[in-house]
Structure 1
Amino acid sequence: MNAFSLQDMSFFVYILASQRNGTLYVGVTNNLARRIHEHREKIIEGFTSNYNVTRLVWFDQTASIEEAISHEKRLKRWQRAWKIALIEKTNPTWNDLYEGIL
């Protein structure tokens, strides 16, 4: 029997957009596919469902929840232009990356 621990998990920081250069949202999760699905289907009411922010345009994987939360908080303090530059560095056409993580 395998023992499950948080040390075996991956954590993700992600950026969603409503469209290219649209409204941005920064979040953190331990299950990226499930969380993006929740945003896309508007399962949880809030900012992303109110502003139709459903396109996964950037994400980063970390090994610890502490690292992921720290990264998320840092990104949330960034200027918008810096977030756009980060997205365009790896996803210049703002493709929705959701299908690629399934």
Structure 2
Amino acid sequence: MEKFYVYAISSESRNYIYVGMTNNIERRLKEHNEGKNKSTKAYVPFKLIYFEEFSSRKEAREREIKLKSGSGKEFLRSLR
């Protein structure tokens, strides 16, 4: 059974947190740090600050939306 992950990365050079969903965190973090994602390219380099594992894409997507909300971003900022 495939696992899905919701993750948050923080730019090491600027005040920016990105929240996303993937089935492979290591690969995804590498892609972000190599500038392969248009929305995060300007904020490289990144460090992983948070992740959660889910057994369905639907559950992961629901959590991703919550972490992108105001209270979700506030929680993630507290982890930096």
TM class by smaller structure: 0.7 to 0.9
Letter in 2 for 1:32: I
State the superposition RMSD in angstroms. Answer: 2.0
User: Which one has the bigger helix percentage?
Assistant: 1
Instruction: Verify the 8 A CA contact 1:39 1:49 in the aligned structure 2.
Output: yes
Question: Could you say which structure has the greater relative contact order, defined with CA pairs below 8 angstroms and 6 or more residues apart?
Answer: 2
Identity between Structure 1 and Structure 2 (%) = 32
Q: TM-score, normalised by structure 2?
A: 0.83
Cα displacement string for residues 36-63 of structure 1 (whole angstroms, at most 9, x for unaligned residues): 111011123x221122252111111111
Q: TM-score, normalised by structure 1?
A: 0.67
Q: How do residues 1-102 of structure 1 correspond to structure 2 at under 5 angstroms?
A: 8-19=1-12, 22-44=15-37, 46-52=38-44, 54-79=46-71, 80-85=73-78, 88=79, 94=80
Cα displacement string for residues 4-35 of structure 1 (whole angstroms, at most 9, x for unaligned residues): xxxx0110000010138821000000111111
Q: Which has the larger radius of gyration?
A: 1
User: Which one has the bigger strand percentage?
Assistant: 2
How many residues are treated as equivalent by the alignment? 79
The alpha carbon displacement at 1:78 in A equals 2.7
User: Which whole-Å CA distance do the structure 1 matches of 2:14 and 2:41 have between them?
Assistant: 18
User: Which whole-Å CA distance do the structure 2 matches of 1:63 and 1:20 have between them?
Assistant: 33
